[in-house]
Amino acid sequence: MKAHQIVQRLALLFCLWVFVIGNPAMADPPDITGQWYGEWQVEEPWEFAGNFSMNFVESPFGLLAVMYLPELGLIDEYVPASVEEDAGETVVTIGVPGLFELEGVLDGDALSGTFYADLDGDPPVYYAGSWSARKYVPEDMVLGEAPGPECTDLPPPYCVGDVFHCAELVQFSPAIDGGWADYPANFPETEENQVYSYIRRDLMQLVQYATAKVACKTADWEYGNFEPLALGDMSEADGSTPALLTLGVYFHPPGTHEDGRDIDTAYYQIFSDDNRLRAICLHYDSHCVETPYALDIWRTALYIAYLAEHPLLRVIGVDGQAGLVLEGALDTLVATGWIEAELRNSIPLAYETEDTGLGWFRYHHHHNHVSMNYLYDAVASAQIQPDTLNRASQGEFVTLHLELYEYVSADRVDADSLALTLNGHTMLYAEPGTVTFSDYDDNGITDITAKFDRQQVAQAVASGEVEIAITGLIDGQYFFQTSDTIFVLGHKPPRADQVVPRYLPEAVRPGRRGIVDDLEE
């Protein structure tokens, strides 16, 4: 969207006196002076959403609105305003006729209406749409009492299957549920054709889990809009970065949003009726210039923490001003019992308060960026024993035998990273000190043997044929995944909680500050 031209700013100032003199105020107008925050939706020539602020002030020339709407070049710009009665309604008009004008109806501390902007250029551009604003009253965001509801019916955070299943590119589905809503983000997306909503299966499950958990855990809080979190761009159906190639436009930097590893999601917000992708702050040059005013701090911090429960999470990128606030919020979540200190220390939150070239400084004022690590096919064979698990047995361990491809030596695997994903909700790590190396199948290739708590496995899986995922980490940066199937005897409802969670420290999360090279010998 083009910014206001200098000539248009001059036109605003030139028209100021004429407009004010020609628009006398009501005899006894309501007091609308003070800070207002609003959102606007462009409907012509294409759909676009943004936010703005305005501060109504009385002046010797009458009522003025100090506008902050950088997309139209209005940065602390004084704009004429008037308040009039029309057919029993209080109508507020802001702007200069023929150039830029918002007209809205006052309803208590809320304003809503339509707007247009006629911008110079080659060719000229005309925008029109709707807007709404609320008078600023400090929002009392009181953190609820931990740990919140039990939330036993959440979507599974972990993908069960091999690398080809869990890294498969799928369309985000269902598009809307209690915790999330996948709205069209960029042209030519529509509700019926979400061309930029293809994502890796394991990342889709994680986002569904984290958003649903926020909705459940905070359902009885005393503030918030209680609406689902909006999802933005993911990848195209072929795994490429969302783009409008007919116009030569890429919506994201090269190397991002490829193969479904990345997703943009909104921030949870206050002063709005939903949580769509919109700026949460006063912003300039695509970054927040002061502490965000519209950020629902506690829900956003919880969402980030719940995402970090997954060891494959690479990074969560936010605006620098939002990052400063969220760091403190995450510390408070630990102190109040909402999350564990170990989880807090594992959160790979990335942001820049100055542009240091890492890529987080701009374009994150209206969304956060969630990214997963690559998942590699590195396993030649995997076998879980016993292949028939009797719940009545009093055995101590379930044993895993793992053989990697010949070009990856077994000693490159981090013993502490080996884990079984048992039911989508439960990730169980190998018992300390049980990981050994030998040629189990006498084929001349070193195998890895690891043991897992048998009772924990038996409690977590269903009866009958059960697929169990196996994950691990090579050289501290390459995740692999495979699976094996066992048969479980005995009838007992499986547990659906996380058993022995283990969080990767933030400082050593793979790909934390960049994309790792391909797995090589």
Give percent of the chain with pLDDT exceeding 90: 61
**Other residues' Cβ atoms within 10 Å of the Cβ of residue 509:** 22
pLDDT given for residue 356 in this prediction: 93
Q: What are phi and psi of 468, to 5 degrees?
A: -125, 125
Per CATH, 6-135 and 376-508 having the same topology is answered: no
Read off the pLDDT of each residue in 330-346 and give the average, rounded to a whole number.
95
Distance of CA 356 to the CA centre of its chain: 23
- Compute how many other C-beta atoms are within 10 angstroms of the C-beta atom of residue 508: 13
**Distance between CA atoms of residues 243 and 360, nearest Å:** 20
pLDDT at 6: 33
Report percent pLDDT > 70 for the chain. Answer: 88
pLDDT the model gives residue 52: 85
Average the pLDDT over 150-178 and give the result.
94
pLDDT at residue 113 greater than cutoff 80: yes
89-112 per-position pLDDT tens digit:
999 999 988 888 999 999 988 999
What is the pLDDT, as a whole number, of residue 16? Answer: 47
3-class secondary-structure state, position 362: coil
Over 60: is that where the pLDDT of 504 sits? yes
For residues 169-178, average pLDDT = 95
Answer left, alpha or beta for residue 423, where phi above 0 means left and psi between -120 and 50 means alpha: alpha
What is the mean pLDDT of the segment spanning 406-411? 91
Residue 509's pLDDT band, with cuts at 50, 70 and 90, is low
- pLDDT of 3 reads 45
Q: What number is the average pLDDT over the span 423-438? A: 92
- 517 pLDDT band, cuts 50/70/90, is very low
Does position 427 have pLDDT exceeding 70, yes or no? Answer: yes
Give the residue-averaged pLDDT of 462-469: 94
What is the distance between the alpha carbons of residues 389 and 483, in angstroms, rounded to a whole number? 16
The pLDDT of residue 5: 45
Ranges of H-type helices in 316-426: 320-335, 341-344
pLDDT of residue 2: 45
- Give residue-wise pLDDT tens across range 263-277: 999 999 988 889 999
Q: Which of 35-49, 244-258, 397-411, 436-450 has the highest mean pLDDT?
A: 397-411
Beta bridge partners of 38: 52, 133
**Average pLDDT for 295-300:** 97
Q: What pLDDT does 273 receive?
A: 84
Start-end of H helices in 410-464? 454-460
Span 135-143, average pLDDT: 85
Q: Is 140 left (phi over 0), alpha (psi -120 to 50) or beta?
A: beta
pLDDT number for residue 246: 59
Which distant-in-sequence residues (6+ apart) come within 8 Å of 276 by Cβ?
49, 183, 230, 266
Q: Which residue has the higher pLDDT, 152 or 329?
A: 329
Cα separations (Å) of 264 from 133, 245, 317, 371? 25, 20, 9, 9
Residue 192: predicted pLDDT: 78
What is the C-alpha separation between 73 and 71, in angstroms, rounded? 6
What pLDDT score was predicted for residue 271? 80
Chain mean pLDDT for the chain:
87
Residues ≥6 apart with Cβ < 8 Å to 132: 38, 39, 104, 110, 111, 112, 113
DSSP state of 506: G
Each residue of 315-326: pLDDT tens digit? Answer: 999 999 999 999
- What are the structural domain ranges in the chain? 6-135, 163-244+251-372, 376-508
* Buried residues in 322-334 as b, exposed as e (16+ CB within 10 A): bbbbbeebbeebb
**pLDDT at position 515:** 34
Neighbours of 27 (CB within 10 A): 6
Report the pLDDT value the prediction gives residue 453, as an integer from 0 to 100: 94
- pLDDT confidence of residue 512: 41
Decide the pairing of beta strands 180-182 and 229-231. parallel
Give residue 493's pLDDT band: very low, low, confident or very high (50, 70, 90): low
pLDDT of residue 7: 37
Q: Which CATH architecture has domain 163-244+251-372?
A: 2-Layer Sandwich (3.30)
Q: What is the CATH number of domain 6-135?
A: 2.40.128
Is 80 exceeded by the pLDDT of residue 44?
A: no
CATH number of this structure's domain 376-508, picked from the four choices 1.10.3470, 2.30.29, 2.60.40, 1.10.1740: 2.60.40
